[in-house]
């Protein structure tokens, strides 16, 4: 079980920071593992209730994923979903819904309706809009 899953957010954040620094040093700023490491740190911040710190990391990760991996890469879709949910947690519901609508459309088009990422995007959008999952 990960530190984050065990509720040990402070330790998880320390480890995520170290991993991100290692990835940036060893792999460079534009490597997909670096993007994932930054995303993990952001999710650690969000789990710790530090959404204001998570959002800039997620915005940077999404921009980097779109630039390097392109808009419909699975890691980009995950980044967009995570940013949307962080916007929602910060009370930025309209921005969250717009991102999730785009994410869901891209997931359905690229991955198919039954893919786990598509189902997650659909569920998240339904939760934000109050509409049933379709």
The predicted structure's pLDDT at residue 134: 67
Residue 134 resides in a domain: no
Average pLDDT over residues 88-110: 97
Please provide the DSSP assignment of 22-55 as one string.
HHHHHH-TTSHHHHHHHHHHHHHHHHTT-HHHHH
Assigned token pair, 18: 């170290």
Give 116's contacts (C-beta < 8 A, 6+ positions apart): none
Three-state secondary-structure class, residue 74:
helix
2 pLDDT above the threshold of 90? no
In a domain, 77, yes or no: yes
Mean pLDDT in the chain?
95
CATH code (residue 21): 1.25.40.10
Q: What is the pTM of this model?
A: 0.93
pLDDT tops 60 at residue 1: no
Domain count, the chain: 1
> Is 59 part of a structural domain of the chain?
yes
Q: Look at residue 23 in the predicted model and tell me its pLDDT.
A: 97
Q: With contact defined as beta carbons under 8 Å apart, do 62 and 87 qualify?
A: no
- E strand or H helix that includes residue 65: helix 51-68
Q: What is the mean pLDDT of residues 19-42?
A: 97
Residue 49 pLDDT greater than 70, yes or no: yes
Percent of the chain with pLDDT over 90: 91
Q: What's the pLDDT tens digit per position in 60-73?
A: 999 999 999 999 99
CA distance 54 to 57: 5
* In-domain check, residue 71: yes
In a domain, 3, yes or no: no
Q: What residues make up the domain containing 119?
A: 9-129
| Residue 4 belongs to a domain | no
Note whether residue 32 is domain-resident: yes
Q: Are 72 and 116 in contact (CB under 8 A)?
A: no
Token pair, residue 107, equals 């997931």
Q: Is residue 1 part of a domain?
A: no
């Amino acid at each position: 079980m990960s530190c984050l899953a065990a509720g040990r957010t402070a330790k998880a954040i320390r480890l995520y920071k170290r991993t991100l620094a290692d990835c940036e040093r060893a792999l460079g700023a534009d490597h997909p593992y670096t993007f994932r490491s930054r995303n993990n740190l952001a999710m650690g911040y969000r789990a710790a209730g530090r959404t204001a710190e998570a959002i800039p990391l997620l915005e940077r990760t999404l921009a980097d994923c779109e630039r390097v991996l392109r808009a419909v890469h699975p890691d980009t879709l995950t980044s967009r979903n995570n940013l949307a949910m962080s916007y929602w947690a910060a009370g930025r519901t309209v921005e969250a819904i717009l991102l999730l609508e785009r994410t869901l459309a891209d997931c359905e088009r690229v991955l198919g309706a039954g893919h786990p990422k598509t189902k997650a995007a659909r569920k998240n959008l339904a939760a934000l809009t109050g509409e049933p999952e379709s």
